[in-house]
């Protein structure tokens, strides 16, 4: 008994201590890599936005996503190397595991085709710069259903995490993505359709909307979000009781929603100032459009 206990003590003071040091060293190294990756991504975001989360350049988005992937890959390699060192210290012949590992790898390859597909799809998403951290995207997955829409918070080789407008985190396997609509690539467009009565003076409506666009472009709060003055496209659609006049504005990436809301408010105020009464939208209409009628008409 004492001999066995002595052997155990000798092993713990020799190979056992080496195993503990390898495990501890791999954990510390992996945490250091994770900390360094977080520091790099934080610096990339700070340099890209200049201290303001207004907009990120495409290069900054790509660098952020690439840093996340490199960090994840480095951590996986650290733990993989640590496992081999531990097996060697435990006396397990690593070379003897080559053949079983090959058979196991083939089996896992057939059973984990989806994971391999996710990793390959993630590789092309990152290298082709389809989207990156901070992009506003709409992702359609296999099988249809509602697309995952929101802001990209994390892109790895296997999954993409999107924060929805409601604050929900949606995790999408990269291999299941069939279509991506990037709403914040290079520039975006805010589209405001203004329904007006069919007997209204369309020329007058167009002039009011043009003045709204000029005022928005002169506004110091809106000017940084607009690439050029909003323009009036004219009549977009015809109905029995109303026509729809379209107004568009080119904006910074991801700022089309904020600009669109501001323009709608300005349109409502401008129509009221010109003696036009705002008509409440129908109860069945869930879209936040503004409808207008002239004074004296029933709302």
Query: Is 142 inside a domain boundary?
Result: no
pLDDT at 86: 80
Comparing 264 with 298, the larger pLDDT belongs to 264
Q: Which of 59, 74, 92 lies at the terminal end of a domain, its last residue?
A: 92
The CATH number of the domain holding residue 256 is: 3.30.70.100
Query: Is 75 inside a domain boundary?
Result: yes
Query: Is 196 inside a domain boundary?
Result: yes
pLDDT at 99: 59
Residue 75 in this model has a pLDDT that exceeds 70: yes
At 79, is the pLDDT very low, low, confident or very high (cuts 50, 70, 90)?
confident
Give the range of the structural domain holding residue 226, as residue numbers without chain letter.
188-294
108-130: pLDDT as tens digits:
666 567 777 888 888 888 877 78
Q: Which of 67, 92, 117 lies at the terminal end of a domain, its last residue?
A: 92
Give the pLDDT mean for 272-278.
Answer: 71
Q: Which of 77, 92, 107 lies at the terminal end of a domain, its last residue?
A: 92
Beta carbons within 8 Å of 76's beta carbon, 6+ residues apart? none
Average predicted confidence (pLDDT) for the chain: 76
Task: Report the percent of the chain where pLDDT is more than 90.
Answer: 2
Token reading at 47: 């340099």
Closest by alpha carbon to 178, among 149, 153, 143, 132? 143
Q: What is the total count of domains within the chain?
A: 2
pTM, entire model: 0.52
Query: Is 170 inside a domain boundary?
Result: no
């Amino acid at each position: 008994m004492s001999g066995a206990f002595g052997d155990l003590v000798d092993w713990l003071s020799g190979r056992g201590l080496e195993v503990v040091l390898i495990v501890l060293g791999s954990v510390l190294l992996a945490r250091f890599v994770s900390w360094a990756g977080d520091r790099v991504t934080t610096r990339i975001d700070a340099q890209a936005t200049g201290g303001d989360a207004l907009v990120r350049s495409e290069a900054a988005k790509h660098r952020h996503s690439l840093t996340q992937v490199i960090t994840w890959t480095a951590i996986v390699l650290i733990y993989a190397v640590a496992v081999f060192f531990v097996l060697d210290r435990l006396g397990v012949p690593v070379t003897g595991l080559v053949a079983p590992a090959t058979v196991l790898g083939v089996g896992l390859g057939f059973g984990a085709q989806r994971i391999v597909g996710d990793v390959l799809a993630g590789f092309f998403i990152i290298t082709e710069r389809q989207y990156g951290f901070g992009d506003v995207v709409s992702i359609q997955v296999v099988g249809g259903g509602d697309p995952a829409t929101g802001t990209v918070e994390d892109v790895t080789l296997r999954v993409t995490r999107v924060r929805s407008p409601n604050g929900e985190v949606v995790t999408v396997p990269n291999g299941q993505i069939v279509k991506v609509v990037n709403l914040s690539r290079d520039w975006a467009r805010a589209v405001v359709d203004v329904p007006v009565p069919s007997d209204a003076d369309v020329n007058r409506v167009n002039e009011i909307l043009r003045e709204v666009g000029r005022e928005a472009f002169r506004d110091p709060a809106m000017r940084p979000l607009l690439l050029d003055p909003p323009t009036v496209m004219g009549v977009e659609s015809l109905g029995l009781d109303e026509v729809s006049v379209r107004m568009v504005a080119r904006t910074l990436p991801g700022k089309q929603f904020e600009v669109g809301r501001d323009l709608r408010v300005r349109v409502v105020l401008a129509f009221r100032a010109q003696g036009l009464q705002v008509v409440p939208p129908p109860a069945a209409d869930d879209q936040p459009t503004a409808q207008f009628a002239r004074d004296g008409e029933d709302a």
